[in-house]
Homo-oligomer: A and B are copies of this chain.
Amino acid sequence: MTTQPAQLRAAIVGSTGYGGVELIRLLAAHPSVKVTSVVSSSSAGSLFSESFPHLTEIVTDALDAVDPELIRSKADVVFLATPHGVSAKLAPDFLAAGLKVIDLSGDFRLKDRAQYEKWYKKEAAGQEELDQAVFGMCELFGDEVAGASFVSNPGCFPTATVLGLYPAVKAGWIDPDSIVIDAKTGVSGSGRGLQLNAHFSEVNENFKAYKVGQHQHTPEIEMVLARAAGRPVATTFTTHLTPMTRGIMSTMYATLTDRSRTSADFHELYRQFYEGRKFVRVRPTGTYPATKEVYGSNYCDISLFADERTGRLTVFSVIDNLVKGAAGQAIQNLNLMMGWDETLGLTFTPVYP
């Protein structure tokens, strides 16, 4: 850390949501970034710490209004931790003001506006901004992120899922048409907004499926897998809610194209693919990850099981949905945009137990 880069000033829009507050936690430990503006449309003017008393000593500022010019005067980069539909409206003005923008919503991930409107049931962002936004799946498209000024941060499920499937699809070792994705998430993924599906007594001691056949992350997953396969891919993607706060596990199934390939073969394929990428850990053959093993950290842990009995591959991939699935990967993208080491400020050890 001898050649420590100069301090970058960051603004966080939507700072009182879970994505925003996690950005604040992580950036407080980043050696080269300082949060200089916390922004909220609903609570501008009040103290940030009224929303989160546990951050009283860490964020002493009042909340700024969503004013690109004001924010431009205080910051160099802006994180949009805003809901779908809101980012699409805000991003152009922030870009026009000359800020670097990292958007955590789904508004700029799908390049096909019709796809967005089908799955999100909202008007899509403008094609110009869509074309400008780089899809920041760091371990896959980091080269495109380097030097970019506008990055669209991937969704939580797509991050866990695509990191788990990409090398096998790319290598042609599994049949893309056979992919089934069974995903489980902690409740924080639905955000801080009140809803019955996040009401404690409804989800505690309960396990449920939701948005069956309709989850908006489906086309995002298929978009990236299509890049790996070199042709369109349709997957069965099912999401479940598990009674915990943080964590995603994606369990993925696909038919082997060559039944003689073993778990060890897949392990070696993945190990080589992710060589040098510190945040993806390919677990030893025969061991399987648990979400808590990445809790509070930016890791994505992956295990592979090729079953000769059924001719099928099973992939397990876990992340902390608020870190690698949101705020952590957003900072990793910032590191790449700035040409810094992608792990800068992100080397948190998982909180266990």
Contact = CB atoms under 8 A, between A and B. Distances in A.
Given A204-B187, A293-B53, A353-B188, A209 B253 contact: no
A307 interface: yes
B195 A245 contact: no
Interface in A184-240: 184, 186-188, 192, 194-196, 198-210, 212-213, 234-236, 238, 240
Q: How many copies does the complex hold?
A: 4
A37 interface: no
Interface of A: 18, 21, 24-25, 28-29, 52-58, 180, 182, 184, 186-188, 192, 194-196, 198-210, 212-213, 234-236, 238, 240, 242-247, 249, 251, 253, 278, 281, 283, 287-296, 299, 301, 303, 305, 307, 309-310, 312, 314, 316, 318, 347-353
B245 A242 contact: no
A192 B187 contact: no
A310 B212 contact: no
B180 A200 contact: no
A207 B244 contact: yes
Contacts of A203: 200
A152 B204 CA distance: 31
Given A238-B314, A249-B207, A58 B349 contact: yes
